[in-house]
């Protein structure tokens, strides 16, 4: 096994994505984690260097649906509408004097699960059924054991059982054409199409979808939690974010009823501190390790011989904790760190969304849904630990090692009230979408 910790060697490795392959890792996960058949394993492994191979064609046909444009816009809108609807329900509960008490992670991960799966799979999604939500949690907890283990039924029987429950539900969803509902995303339609064009057996298409579900949720939910944690636990962060979000809120004032309108575009394009806080969450909390398999003997950067069949790992935290890259405040959470700087660290040093040709294709969608969640929370609600206690960051020692952003070991019980800006007045919120396909993530790259 080789461990790459030098930023310039990471760049060199990323340029050699055939010799130092991520697709080999995914192929292994498709069979060990998703339980894919040997027929599919052959299709995935075939001719990986050809531009027509399964993965290259996937990148060409499926990834564009997650890049800035009408398909991403439609998916993001649905997610944000679902988030806003969840907040309307929370607001209704906040009408009385006692505060609403919630588990911050438990509640936010549930709302994010519903928003993200609703946006990807559409109105016919089977996944909002609570039994599937629970199945997903059990499956996610066992992913690493499945990836490492030889006998999945012995290593993680609960996880395998939960996976099979999800496979059945998603198989039924595809058979009944749920993905063709106009409210489903183009992302899921193209994934289905790509698998049928590649002759993947239908049962495996449902299995692979369970793998995609992990990609959609396993970082998004803890990242949302940590963003809320930093925003509400530090008054300076909350003030800064509220200030820039409020600038985009249009208030129609009538004494007995007030309406607030916020354009999603404002969050995407005019909230640099919120975006910087989100990127700092991805830097500060990152525990991600990119794994690669060496497919042929390769002399990395003309200097280091990597032997065929070995594993390469790139630990994100090493880059993210390097004071020569981030300066002497590297160990401190600085919500303004990613505002445009004169001297920019190398983009390869920021591993939040990975890098190179396998840079996370879901980054635009994730950034929009997570920052919209935090922005709407900031202007609508006050949140503090129950009983007025101090904010204590939960540990992450027990977090499953499958995510780049770890979930907290414990939860934080919080009291939620309407924010002063809106409290005491009957009011409603409307989120509008002026339809720009500008990317939020673009600013992340710019900041580097």
Residue with tokens 């499926």: 62
- 220 near ligand HEM (CB under 6 A): yes
Residues contacting 172, CB < 8 A, separation 6+ = 126
What is the closest distance, in whole angstroms, from the C-beta atom of residue 22 to ligand HEM in the complex? 6
Whose Cβ is closer to ligand HEM: residue 100's or residue 274's? 274
Residue 252's DSSP bridge partners are 259
Considering only residues 187-216, where is the footprint of ligand HEM by CB under 6 A?
Answer: 215-216
Whose Cβ is closer to ligand HEM: residue 91's or residue 219's? 219
Whose Cβ is closer to ligand HEM: residue 94's or residue 293's? 293
Whose Cβ is closer to ligand HEM: residue 22's or residue 232's? 22
Residues 351, 256 contacting (CB under 8 angstroms): no
Whose Cβ is closer to ligand HEM: residue 223's or residue 414's? 223
Residue 414's DSSP bridge partners are 102, 385
What is the closest distance, in whole angstroms, from the C-beta atom of residue 275 to ligand HEM in the complex? 13
- 354 near ligand HEM (CB under 6 A): yes
- 115 near ligand HEM (CB under 6 A): no
Whose Cβ is closer to ligand HEM: residue 314's or residue 414's? 314
Considering only residues 6-65, where is the footprint of ligand HEM by CB under 6 A?
Answer: 22, 26
Residue with tokens 């949690």: 137
What is the closest distance, in whole angstroms, from the C-beta atom of residue 288 to ligand HEM in the complex? 5
What is the closest distance, in whole angstroms, from the C-beta atom of residue 352 to ligand HEM in the complex? 6
What is the closest distance, in whole angstroms, from the C-beta atom of residue 189 to ligand HEM in the complex? 14
Candidates 78, 108, 159, 219: give the one binding ligand HEM (CB under 6 A). Answer: 219
Residue 388 has φ and ψ, to the nearest 5°, of 75, 20
- 223 near ligand HEM (CB under 6 A): yes
What is the closest distance, in whole angstroms, from the C-beta atom of residue 171 to ligand HEM in the complex? 20
What is the closest distance, in whole angstroms, from the C-beta atom of residue 411 to ligand HEM in the complex? 19
Stretch that binds ligand HEM, among 37-45, 101-109, 353-361, 426-434 (CB under 6 A): 353-361
**How many angstroms separate the CA atoms of 407 and 151, rounded?**
26
Whose Cβ is closer to ligand HEM: residue 245's or residue 402's? 402
What is the closest distance, in whole angstroms, from the C-beta atom of residue 101 to ligand HEM in the complex? 27
Residues 356, 19 contacting (CB under 8 angstroms): no
Interface characters, 356-395, with ligand HEM (x: CB under 6 A): --x-xxx--xx-----------------------------
**How many angstroms separate the CA atoms of 39 and 198, rounded?**
11
Residues 286, 351 contacting (CB under 8 angstroms): yes
Site size for ligand HEM (CB under 6 A): 22
- 353 near ligand HEM (CB under 6 A): yes
Residue 367 has φ and ψ, to the nearest 5°, of -65, -40
- 282 near ligand HEM (CB under 6 A): yes
Candidates 16, 27, 76, 290: give the one binding ligand HEM (CB under 6 A). Answer: 290
Interacting residues toward ligand HEM by CB under 6 A: 22, 26, 66, 215-216, 219-220, 223, 282, 288, 290, 352-354, 358, 360-362, 365-366, 404-405
């Amino acid at each position: 096994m080789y461990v790459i910790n030098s930023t310039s060697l990471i760049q060199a490795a990323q340029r050699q994505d055939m010799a130092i392959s991520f697709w080999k890792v995914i192929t292994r996960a498709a069979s060990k984690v998703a339980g894919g058949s040997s027929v599919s394993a052959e299709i995935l492994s075939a001719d990986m260097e050809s531009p027509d191979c399964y993965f290259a064609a996937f990148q060409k046909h499926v990834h564009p649906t997650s890049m800035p444009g009408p398909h991403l816009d439609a998916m993001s809108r649905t997610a944000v509408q679902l988030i806003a609807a969840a907040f309307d329900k929370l607001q209704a509960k906040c009408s009385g004097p006692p505060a609403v008490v919630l588990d911050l992670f438990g509640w936010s991960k549930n709302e994010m699960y519903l928003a993200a799966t609703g946006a990807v799979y559409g109105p016919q999604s089977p996944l909002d059924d609570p039994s599937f939500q629970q199945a997903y949690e059990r499956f996610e907890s066992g992913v690493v054991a499945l990836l490492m283990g030889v006998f999945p039924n012995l290593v993680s029987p609960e996880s395998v059982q939960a996976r099979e429950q999800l496979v059945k539900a998603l198989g039924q969803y595809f058979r009944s054409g749920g993905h063709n509902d106009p409210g489903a995303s183009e992302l899921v339609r193209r994934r289905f199409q790509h698998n049928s064009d590649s002759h993947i057996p239908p049962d495996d298409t449902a299995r692979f979808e369970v793998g995609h579900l992990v990609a959609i949720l396993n970082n998004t939910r803890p990242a949302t939690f940590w963003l809320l944690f930093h925003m509400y636990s530090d008054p300076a962060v909350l003030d800064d974010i509220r200030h820039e979000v409020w600038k985009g809120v249009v208030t129609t004032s009538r004494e007995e009823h007030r309406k607030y309108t916020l354009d999603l575009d404002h969050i995407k394009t005019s909230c640099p501190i919120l975006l910087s806080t989100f990127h700092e969450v991805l830097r500060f909390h990152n525990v991600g390790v990119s794994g690669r398999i060496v497919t042929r003997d390769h002399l990395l950067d003309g200097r280091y011989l990597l032997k065929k069949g070995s594993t390469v790992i790139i630990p994100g935290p090493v880059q993210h904790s390097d004071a020569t890259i981030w300066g002497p405040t590297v160990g401190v959470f600085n919500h303004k760190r990613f505002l445009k700087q004169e001297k920019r660290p190398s983009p390869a040093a920021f591993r939040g969304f990975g890098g190179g040709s396998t840079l996370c294709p879901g980054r635009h969608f994730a950034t929009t849904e997570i920052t919209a969640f935090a922005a709407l929370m900031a202007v609508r609600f006050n949140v503090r630990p129950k009983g007025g206690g101090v904010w204590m960051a939960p540990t992450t020692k027990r977090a499953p090692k499958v995510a780049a952003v770890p979930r907290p070991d414990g939860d934080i019980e919080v009291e939620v009230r309407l924010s002063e800006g809106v409290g005491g007045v009957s009011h409603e919120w409307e989120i509008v979408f002026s339809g720009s396909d500008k990317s939020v993530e673009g600013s992340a790259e710019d900041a580097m």
